[in-house]
Structure 1
């Protein structure tokens, strides 16, 4: 077009489908509280706490290092994710700028992380020279990174015990979004906490799970018009 060889921009005729985002219903407040009870003695209790309260992704949880956490000042930084790439377990840089973020820690998260650190120290002492010092927060009993599939296997009995059959581990992240928005936290704050690339994703998750609020709104309309 700059050379005036064509009269219109044919690229405008191309129709691009919007991205799809699979969303399941998240946990309600009672289910979230029950999950806390069920995971009380689970070696990965702190991982489930961060998934539910901070909305961290699986790769972010598994890629979290102790050097990324400041328990005294109560924050953590998401700098990398742990993923399988070409069959190899690798730490990779988050895909988007918003995914690379600093998240404050509430006292409950700090307490669970301190407890987890003590548990890990006991594991280190018990295996002695077999311990592999990777620096990861969530590891196997000998310090090596946790395979993503193995984390899923840990989750299955947890969700069954909590009466959450069919709920995916990723749905804890969705639960964080819906519970925060249900408490009237501004959407842009929720977006910053969970690291969504854009606000549309945050609101799509909420719209999928806010049937009770929509029903209440429609009831108000019905009452108003009668």
Structure 2
């Protein structure tokens, strides 16, 4: 900051601090309406950023920059990722920050947005996503030399609660494994996706992962998850970097897959499901036809996690693709190979206990 030789001065008629600086023949004026030395320091800081950090625009509005950032996000990710970001922008960020200048952003402004969303009752998961949006936006600004602001203390309020997920209870699970039929126009017919429902429960696979599953992904007792099909029909590499994973099949999972192979004749895809909406509709119809309290298809995965909670936490996380320490497809394969078989054996015991009455 050696190039600035002057300091901001107070202009009584305009009720603001002002400083004029020059760089490469370009002269700029920076101001602050904050009273006292705080305002003087802010005006000086703006000037220093432009002089020393190469900040290219101090009048850029957040609404302009945010839309440009989202446009770049759209180029590198799927709709299932950028649409929620765009929705959070319109609902929570734009109303309070849209007309602010990027150069005036501070941590208190961003935290106020998060706090307002918290007060409105948003879940902890959504608040975490909102914080992640704001941090990513600020990083984009820094990379583009539009700001040097880094919201280090931005956080989710301590009182935020995780959204409670409904799961299938043991009685419903026994029905699931005892009844193969659903109702179609008032008649009992085989449910085409019965094995998909069951596999989701015994493996914790996400609906999109079930739809993307190919027979080629199943090698012996091992399953390799290469990606997913999202709600928009797009092939993705999964919900997060740890979604790409492998795991050993339990005996229950192998029986389900063998039954499915007999139905499909070994077609390329394991489950010929047209779209996630179709899968969800058929599952809801199955629940209604068989007296099961409906939960979204994704909650079959939550049911699996709840059922397997007696296993070590790290084991369950690696099974469902949540562990951040788990390298994709296992750099530690020489260690994991035996672990996966032991995990399958432990899981078989838990599944047998939960489903014991369904075979009576």
Q: TM-score, normalised by structure 1?
A: 0.66
1:31 to 167, 172, 177: 172
Q: Structure 1 residue runs of 4+, over 4 Å off?
A: 18-21
2:251 to 103, 107, 119: 107
**C-alpha distance in 2 between matches for 1:13 and 1:80:** 33
Q: How far has the Cα of 1:91 moved from its partner?
A: 1.7
**C-alpha distance in 1 between matches for 2:166 and 2:276:** 22
Aligned match of 1:11: 150
- In structure 2, the CA distance between the partners of 1:21 and 1:94, relative to structure 1 (3 Å rule), is farther
Q: How does 1:23-172 map onto structure 2 within 5 Å?
A: 23-39=164-180, 41-70=190-219, 73-85=220-232, 89-121=233-265, 135-139=268-272, 145-172=273-300
- In structure 2, the CA distance between the partners of 1:23 and 1:38, relative to structure 1 (3 Å rule), is farther
- Tell whether the 8 Å contact from 1:28 to 1:179 is kept in structure 2 after alignment: no
SS in 2 for 1:103: strand
Q: How far has the Cα of 1:42 moved from its partner?
A: 2.5
Q: Deviations over 1:184-224 (max 9, x none)?
A: 2111111111112569xxxxxxxxxxxxxxxxxxxxxxxxx
- In structure 2, the CA distance between the partners of 1:23 and 1:78, relative to structure 1 (3 Å rule), is farther
**C-alpha distance in 1 between matches for 2:294 and 2:262:** 32
Answer yes or no: is 1:186 the counterpart of 2:312.
yes
2:301 to 155, 158, 173: 173
SS in 2 for 1:77: strand
**C-alpha distance in 2 between matches for 1:163 and 1:119:** 25
Unmatched 5+ stretches in structure 2: 2-44, 50-147, 182-189, 326-360
- Tell whether the 8 Å contact from 2:213 to 2:270 is kept in structure 1 after alignment: yes
- Tell whether the 8 Å contact from 1:50 to 1:56 is kept in structure 2 after alignment: yes
Q: Deviations over 1:29-58 (max 9, x none)?
A: 232122111236432222112110111111
- Tell whether the 8 Å contact from 2:193 to 2:279 is kept in structure 1 after alignment: no
**C-alpha distance in 2 between matches for 1:173 and 1:95:** 14
Q: Deviations over 1:155-210 (max 9, x none)?
A: 012112342233111111110011111xx2111111111112569xxxxxxxxxxx
- Tell whether the 8 Å contact from 2:204 to 2:304 is kept in structure 1 after alignment: yes
Q: What is the alpha-carbon root mean square deviation over aligned residues? A: 3.0
Q: How many residues in Structure 1 have an aligned counterpart in Structure 2?
A: 172
Higher relative contact order (CA 8 A, sep 6+): 1
Q: TM-score, normalised by structure 2?
A: 0.43
